[in-house]
Amino acid sequence: MTLNPIVVSRRSLLLATIVSVFSGFWRSEAVLAASKANDPQWDLTDETWRKRLSSQAFDVLRNEGTERPFTSLLNDEKREGTYHCAGCDLSLFSSLTKFDSGTGWPSFWQPLEQRIATRIDFKLIVPRTEYHCRRCGGHQGHVFNDGPRPTGKRYCNNGIALRFKAAVRSDHDG
């Protein structure tokens, strides 16, 4: 008996998808749960988050929404400084790792160490890696493997989920 290669491929794809969903779900939920447990002061109710955030920021940070491309003023931000989570003010990215990806969202090739948690997202059917603020769990964006050297990563961030803080320069900095 000969198996139809298309059926085998479909079966393999379905099995691989199911395994990916469940393994990604359990691993990522554990990462996010661990991050929120590290700082329980940020385990706030939706009502409290709604009072702290604009409706658009709430949608992105708490409901994993996405802002429209090319709408963030941070796309054109060129100053030296640090990008912080708009939910809890944890610093996430240095301006030294920001680059123009042409995608319409602020993009970085590397986060600051131990500042984000990731999980697999299947909202568009194709698996993507989404990342969240490690302290408050706020959704920031997705990471892709098409960024510049040295990491080859593109952390594509919702601008509404960030706050930029310019570096303070002294008179001695020239």
Peptide bond into 150 cis (omega under 30): yes
pLDDT for 121: 81
Mean of the per-residue pLDDT values of the chain: 83
pLDDT tier, 174 (very low <50, low <70, confident <90, very high otherwise): low
pLDDT for 35: 45
CATH code for the part of the protein at 5-169: 2.170.150.20
- Biggest CA–CA distance in the chain, Å, is 82
Does residue 59 register a pLDDT over 80?
A: yes
The radius of gyration of the chain from alpha carbons, rounded to an integer in Å, stands at 19
Span 67-119, pLDDT tens digits: 999 999 999 999 999 999 999 999 999 999 999 999 999 999 999 999 999 99
Report CA-CA distances (Å) from 101 to 72, 113, 135, 165. Answer: 14, 22, 27, 21
pLDDT tier, 172 (very low <50, low <70, confident <90, very high otherwise): low
How far apart (Å, rounded) are the C-alpha atoms in residues 51 and 37? 22
Structure tokens at 55: 């409706």
Query: Which one of the listed residues 85, 133, 136, 156 is annotated catalytic?
Result: 156
User: Does the annotation mark 88 as catalytic?
Assistant: no
Question: Taking residues 129-147, what's their average pLDDT?
Answer: 96
Structure tokens at 143: 């990471």
Domain extent listing, the chain: 5-169
Q: Are 87 and 133 in contact (CB under 8 A)?
A: yes
| Percentage of the residues of the chain whose pLDDT score is greater than 70 | 75
pLDDT for 40: 79
Strand locations in 26-68, DSSP E? none
pLDDT for 18: 47
Please state the length of the chain. Answer: 174
pLDDT tier, 11 (very low <50, low <70, confident <90, very high otherwise): low
Does residue 157 register a pLDDT over 80?
A: yes
pLDDT for 28: 42
Structure tokens at 152: 């080859």
